[in-house]
């Protein structure tokens, strides 16, 4: 079931929506912001949105940035699209692997980091690029990545 706070925030979003279902991505994001991921408890949110639990799950599983499985405390999204690939995506992936011991799709055993691939971040003139949580990092090199990881430890 959603917590009172989640419920309050979802109701806030519903005020802006022409139809309740239109707020479902916002509702999923609210749950994810509170819990880090969207557990099976989304089924309890569906009613607020005039949706069946399966309809809501169908939307949740459609999006790459709604997590239906637990992720680490920090999510590292590494752009693997063409400009970043040309400019050194593999260096980024390898450096993360060396420092964290994980590749794309994996979470560190201490639950601190999850690394995920993401499509073009719209920062191709500063490739290679990645995001950590909501923060965008550009012109990545091995050393830059070490510095960035330090900030999150």
Query: Nearer Cβ to other proteins, position 99 or 132?
Result: 132
Positions that interact with ligand FES (CB under 6 A): 79, 81-84, 120-124, 127, 129
d(CA 50, CA 138): 41
Using the contact rule CB under 8 A, the part of the chain among 40-48, 64-72, 100-108, 140-148 near other proteins is 64-72
Q: What backbone phi and psi angles, to 5 degrees, belong to 9?
A: -65, -40
Interface with other proteins, residue 78, by CB under 8 A: no
d(CA 6, CA 8): 5
Interface with other proteins, residue 51, by CB under 8 A: yes
Q: What backbone phi and psi angles, to 5 degrees, belong to 107?
A: -125, 140
What SS3 class is residue 136?
A: strand
Residues lying near other proteins in the complex (CB under 8 A) are found at 16, 18-25, 28-29, 49, 51, 58-59, 62-66, 77, 80-83, 85-87, 118-127, 131, 134, 136
């Amino acid at each position: 079931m959603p917590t009172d706070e989640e419920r309050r925030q979802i109701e806030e979003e519903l005020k802006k929506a022409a139809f309740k279902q239109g707020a479902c991505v916002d509702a999923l994001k609210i749950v994810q912001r509170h819990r880090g991921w969207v557990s099976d408890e989304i089924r309890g949110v569906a009613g607020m949105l005039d949706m069946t639990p399966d309809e809501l799950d169908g939307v949740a599983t459609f999006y790459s940035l709604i997590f239906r499985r637990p992720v680490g405390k920090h999510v590292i999204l590494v752009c693997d699209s063409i400009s970043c690939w040309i400019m050194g995506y593999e260096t980024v992936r390898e450096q993360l692997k060396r420092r964290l011991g994980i590749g794309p799709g994996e979470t560190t055993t201490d639950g601190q980091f999850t690394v995920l691939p993401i499509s073009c971040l719209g920062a191709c003139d500063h490739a290679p690029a990645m995001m950590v949580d909501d923060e965008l990092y550009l012109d990545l090199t091995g050393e830059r990545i070490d510095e960035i990881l330090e900030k999150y430890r």
